[in-house]
């Protein structure tokens, strides 16, 4: 075998090994994307799907985010809706109360700058962008207190913006909801 | 053939000087928010520091390294004097002036908006103008890289463009285009408000513009590192590049797929629908491809060096590598950090997993590991490798260099691993302090302390780096010879046109940006009633 032959055969070997690796890499990547698509469609786990807008300079005057409508409400079908707003530097309500093992819809927005809601120990995590409504579906499997910090820089007081979520027994929540109105930790 | 050494040295020295300042601020932040620091009486100081740290580390430091390295590549790889030296100096001074202009309002507490701007928070006008000047200065570099390559092509019709220059120009085009997102946000939205011409701003749209810049900017930071992987490391350790064409493919893949993926930063945002979030998630998976290809090619190139040094066996060759060579050490550290950081990145880009860690300390840990770790450690290696050629003096402190690299690696791991951990526990980002007295937060105190110690290890390493370079300016004179780049096992004489030019790939980059960003931007821009009142920093 001449030197020329060795050279060209080594080029072929190199190219073949390289091609195999590239194919493996492409398979890994397509696998990941398919997995995400499957989980998104089949288990309905995906980021917020819809875009809804609201005017932050008028939310305190009318619409679903007026003060009297903030807090938790038991819907006719047994689900719970929580409405909250973030503003420099607190959430309203500062302590959210919800029942355990219940499908909950969190609807929230910001009254001023960009904030975020994160409930520690869960994967509830959403941005609050003024002008837009954030919606998250959640369900708590355990009763107890959860910390709910603002997770986005909202100016100097950001480090002090911590809310709370109190997850209570289903019957207790139903009992409190009987009197109507919007529930929060206040009065408990 | 490095002729304009002063120009390159000026870029590197200004880069490393501001890096030293920002690193010190970073270490102070780590300390003050940890249980070993006293509770900060004025948290506002923390956010001045954080804005300065981010602005310098994000916009000034890596840009200057890419520019200085780019000029060095242009002169040495093309073996051609830099065309447009005066313009290059203009770009440099624009960056110096811009940096100073941006830092003054930050220091005065008038621009604590973080380097990510966060409208409707609005800071002092001069902060934004300073950032614009920095970007304009760097665009001059982009133009010069393109012009220099064109001049070379005219003199060498049909010849293969040296890999280092091919990659360098790809990186410059990526930067030119990715900076457009933040430029649109600044020029169309923020600056009119900061200048007092308007008092409302669409925060949702601004976040989308910024996401256009926010992801691909990381790949711009990464470019010098990847260029070093392919074109410096194999030469420095006595190996060869396994495949020249695979290297080119990796660089053009970065150019094309680093851009249309930024919306993965807004998975948790309410202003984008699920469809585009999924598209961007899938494209983000694609960007792992050039990195996977690179890991293969570089490991194979390193193996060639080991086998040439007598390494045997399936894994036995690893022992035969020149481990006392700083370049070898830097590469190994860089790869380990890239491995961990990259794995974390796959979690962040996942459509579903992101919700668990979005805006927690996990993210801080992730990008410090990738940028501060994998990328910056190669900036050190690039500086060490180029220094003797720039100063005409020998770098004699090889032991010190090795210690410095070790400390940076250890410091980065000690800083970022606990960050990842507390992030999983739900500790939010960008907090001036934590109430460790709260029983729910108390268990995280130990991790935060470890991170702070890591911060001081990094600061020590950073100081050593600057001392080594400063001593290198006064070392005995020694002619380092011409600056050379690694050659491939099969060095190409001709390269297919597609892998020798950029036009096709730039067109694809722009087209994919339009398909992936056009609709979300148009949709937000035409939705009425989403402009919200500006909130002025320092006015409260």
Q: What percent of chain B has a predicted confidence (pLDDT) above 70?
A: 100
Q: Answer yes or no: do B289 and A26 touch at CB < 8 A.
A: yes
B350 pLDDT band, cuts 50/70/90, is confident
In angstroms, the CA B146 to CA B170 distance is 9
Which residues neighbour B22 within 8 Å (Cβ) at sequence distance 6 or greater? Answer: B52, B53, B56, B57, B61
Q: Answer yes or no: do A37 and B278 touch at CB < 8 A.
A: yes
DSSP 3-state percent helix, strand, coil across chain A (nearest 5):
30, 30, 40
Determine the 3-state secondary structure of B359 from DSSP: coil
Contact indicator for B131, B190 with CB cutoff of 8 Å: no
Q: What is the mean pLDDT of residues B442-452?
A: 95
The single residue of B48, B280, B366, B420 carrying the catalytic annotation is: B366
Half-sphere exposure of B109 (CA within 13 A, CB side): 10
Q: What is the DSSP annotation of A41-92? A: HHS---S----EE--TTTTTTSSTTSGGG-EEEE-TTS-EEEEEEEETTEEE
Chain B residue nearest residue A153, CA to CA: B430
- What average pLDDT does chain B have? 94
Least confident of B131-140, B330-339, B346-355, B505-514: B346-355
In angstroms, the CA A42 to CA B402 distance is 52
pLDDT at B193 over 50: yes
Of A14, A29, A129, the CB nearest to B207: A129
Determine the 3-state secondary structure of B395 from DSSP: coil
DSSP A183: B
pLDDT at A4 over 80: no
Residue B129 is encoded by which pair of tokens? 């103008």
Of A25, A49, A56, the CB nearest to B274: A49
Contact indicator for B251, B235 with CB cutoff of 8 Å: no
In angstroms, the CA A175 to CA A180 distance is 10
What are the chain A neighbours of B242 within 8 Å (beta carbons)?
A: 14, 18
| Active site annotation includes B264 | no
**What's the domain range around B205?**
5-431+443-536
Distance of CA B527 to the CA centre of its chain: 34
In this prediction, residue A2 carries a pLDDT of 52
Contact indicator for A102, A77 with CB cutoff of 8 Å: no
Contact indicator for B18, B96 with CB cutoff of 8 Å: no
What are residue B428's DSSP bridge partners?
B360
In this prediction, residue B380 carries a pLDDT of 98
Pairing of strands A104-110, A80-87: parallel
Q: What is the mean pLDDT of residues A61-68?
A: 93
In this prediction, residue B539 carries a pLDDT of 58
- Is B61 within the bounds of a domain? yes
Q: What is the mean pLDDT of residues A113-136?
A: 95
Of B202, B359, B540, the CB nearest to A152: B359
In angstroms, the CA B500 to CA B245 distance is 10
**Which CATH number does the domain housing residue B486 bear?**
1.20.210.10
Q: CA torsion sign, B291 to B366 to B413 to B70?
A: positive
pLDDT at B540 over 60: no
Chain B residue nearest residue A59, CA to CA: B532
| Active site annotation includes B420 | no
Rounded to a whole number of angstroms, the distance from the CA of B176 to the nearest CA of chain A is: 28
What pLDDT digit, counting tens, does each position of B116-146 carry? 999 999 999 999 999 999 999 999 999 999 9
| Active site annotation includes B86 | no
In angstroms, the CA B518 to CA B212 distance is 11
**Would you state the torsion angle of the CA atoms of residues A163, A124, B417, B337, taken in this order, to the nearest 10 degrees?**
-140
- Is B438 within the bounds of a domain? no
Residue B290 is encoded by which pair of tokens? 């050039």
Number of domains, chain B: 1
In this prediction, residue A41 carries a pLDDT of 78
In this prediction, residue A1 carries a pLDDT of 43
Mutate to test the interface with B, among A159, A161, A162, A166 (most CBs of B within 10 A): A159
Helices and strands: H and E segment counts in chain B: 19, 4
List the one residue out of B276, B279, B233 whose CA is nearest residue B385: B233
In this prediction, residue A188 carries a pLDDT of 63
- Is B151 within the bounds of a domain? yes
Rounded to a whole number of angstroms, the distance from the CA of A141 to the nearest CA of chain B is: 16
- Is B436 within the bounds of a domain? no
In this prediction, residue B491 carries a pLDDT of 83
Q: Tokens 């830097």 correspond to what residue?
A: B330
B381 pLDDT band, cuts 50/70/90, is very high
Pairing of strands B200-201, B532-533: antiparallel
What are the chain B neighbours of A59 within 8 Å (beta carbons)?
A: none
Q: What is the mean pLDDT of residues B275-301?
A: 90
- Is B437 within the bounds of a domain? no
In angstroms, the CA B480 to CA A52 distance is 63
Pairing of strands A71-74, A80-87: antiparallel
Distance of CA B456 to the CA centre of its chain: 21
Q: Tokens 């509770």 correspond to what residue?
A: B39
- Is B27 within the bounds of a domain? yes
What pLDDT digit, counting tens, does each position of A134-175 carry? 999 999 999 999 999 999 999 999 999 999 999 999 999 999
Q: What is the mean pLDDT of residues B37-43?
A: 81
- Is B532 within the bounds of a domain? yes
| Active site annotation includes B215 | yes
In angstroms, the CA A108 to CA A120 distance is 17
B371 pLDDT band, cuts 50/70/90, is very high
- ipTM, two decimals, is 0.91
What values do phi and psi take at B60, rounded to 5?
Answer: -90, -55
- Is B315 within the bounds of a domain? yes
In angstroms, the CA B234 to CA B229 distance is 8
Q: Tokens 């601004």 correspond to what residue?
A: B206
List the one residue out of A83, A125, A131 whose CA is nearest residue A110: A131
């Amino acid at each position: 075998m001449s030197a020329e032959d060795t050279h060209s055969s080594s080029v072929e070997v190199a190219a073949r090994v390289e091609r195999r690796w590239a194919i493996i890499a492409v398979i890994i990547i397509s696998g990941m994307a398919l997995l995400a698509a499957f989980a998104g469609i089949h288990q309905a786990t995906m980021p917020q799907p819809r875009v809804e807008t609201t005017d932050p300079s008028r939310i305190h005057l009318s619409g679903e985010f007026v003060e009297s409508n903030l807090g938790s409400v038991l819907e006719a079908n047994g689900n719970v809706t929580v409405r909250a707003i973030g503003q420099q530097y607190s959430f309203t309500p500062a302590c959210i109360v919800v029942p355990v093992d219940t499908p909950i819809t969190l609807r929230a927005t910001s009254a001023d700058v960009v904030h975020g809601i994160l409930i520690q120990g869960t994967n509830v995590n959403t941005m609050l962008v003024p002008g837009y409504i954030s919606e998250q579906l959640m369900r708590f499997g355990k009763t107890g207190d959860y910390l709910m910090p603002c997770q986005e820089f909202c100016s100097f007081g950001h480090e002090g913006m911590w809310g709370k979520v109190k997850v209570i027994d289903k019957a207790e929540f139903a009992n409190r909801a009987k009197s109507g109105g919007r529930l929060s930790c206040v009065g408990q | 053939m490095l002729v304009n050494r002063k120009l390159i040295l000026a870029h590197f020295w200004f880069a490393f000087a501001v890096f030293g300042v920002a690193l010190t601020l970073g270490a102070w932040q780590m300390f003050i928010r940890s249980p070993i620091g006293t509770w900060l009486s004025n948290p506002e100081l923390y956010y001045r520091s954080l804005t300065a740290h981010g602005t310098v580390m994000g916009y000034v430091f890596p840009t200057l390294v890419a520019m200085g390295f780019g000029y060095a590549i242009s002169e040495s790889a093309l073996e051609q004097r830099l065309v447009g030296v005066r313009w290059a100096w203009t770009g440099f001074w624009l960056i110096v002036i811009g940096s100073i202009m941006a830092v003054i309002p930050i220091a005065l507490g008038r621009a604590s908006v973080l380097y990510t701007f966060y409208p409707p928070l609005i800071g002092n006008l001069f902060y934004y103008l300073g950032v614009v000047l920095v970007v304009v200065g760097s665009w001059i570099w982009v133009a010069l890289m393109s012009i220099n390559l064109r001049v070379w092509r005219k003199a060498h019709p049909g010849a293969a463009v040296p890999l280092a220059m091919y990659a360098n120009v790809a990186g410059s085009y990526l930067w030119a285009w990715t900076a457009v997102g933040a430029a649109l946000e600044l020029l169309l939205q923020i600056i009119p408000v900061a200048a007092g011409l308007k008092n409302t701003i669409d925060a949702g749209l601004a976040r989308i513009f910024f996401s256009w810049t926010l992801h691909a900017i990381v790949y711009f930071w990464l470019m010098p590192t990847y260029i070093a992987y392919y074109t410096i490391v194999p030469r420095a350790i006595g190996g060869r590049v396994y495949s020249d064409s695979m290297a080119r493919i990796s660089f053009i893949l970065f150019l094309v797929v680093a851009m249309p993926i930024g919306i993965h930063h807004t998975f948790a945002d309410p202003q984008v629908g699920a469809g585009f979030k999924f598209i961007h998630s899938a494209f983000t998976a694609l960007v792992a491809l050039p990195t996977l290809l690179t890991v293969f090619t570089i490991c194979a190139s390193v193996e060639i060096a080991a086998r040439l040094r007598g390494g045997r066996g399936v894994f036995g060759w690893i022992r035969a590598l020149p481990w006392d060579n700083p370049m070898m050490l830097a590469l190994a550290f860089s790869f380990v950090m890239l491995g961990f950081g990259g794995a974390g990145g796959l979690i962040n880009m996942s459509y579903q997993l992101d919700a668990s860690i979005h805006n927690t300390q996990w993210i801080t840990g992730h990008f410090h590991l990738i940028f501060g770790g994998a990328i910056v450690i190669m900036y050190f290696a690039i500086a060490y490798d180029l220094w003797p050629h720039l100063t005409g003096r020998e770098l004699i402190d090889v032991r010190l260099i090795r210690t410095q690299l070790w400390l940076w690696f250890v410091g980065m791991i000690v800083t970022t691993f606990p960050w990842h951990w507390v992030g999983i526990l739900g500790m939010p980002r960008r907090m001036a302090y934590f109430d460790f007295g709260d029983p729910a937060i108390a268990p995280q105190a130990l991790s935060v302390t470890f991170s702070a110690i890591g911060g001081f290890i990094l600061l020590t390493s950073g100081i050593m780096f600057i001392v080594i370079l400063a001593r290198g300016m006064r070392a005995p004179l020694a002619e380092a010879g011409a600056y050379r780049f690694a050659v491939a096992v099969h060095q190409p004489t001709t390269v297919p046109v597609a892998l020798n030019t950029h036009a096709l790939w730039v067109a694809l980059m722009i087209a994919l940006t339009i398909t992936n960003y056009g609709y979300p931007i148009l949709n937000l821009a035409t939705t009425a009633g989403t402009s919200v009142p500006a909130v002025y920093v320092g006015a409260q």
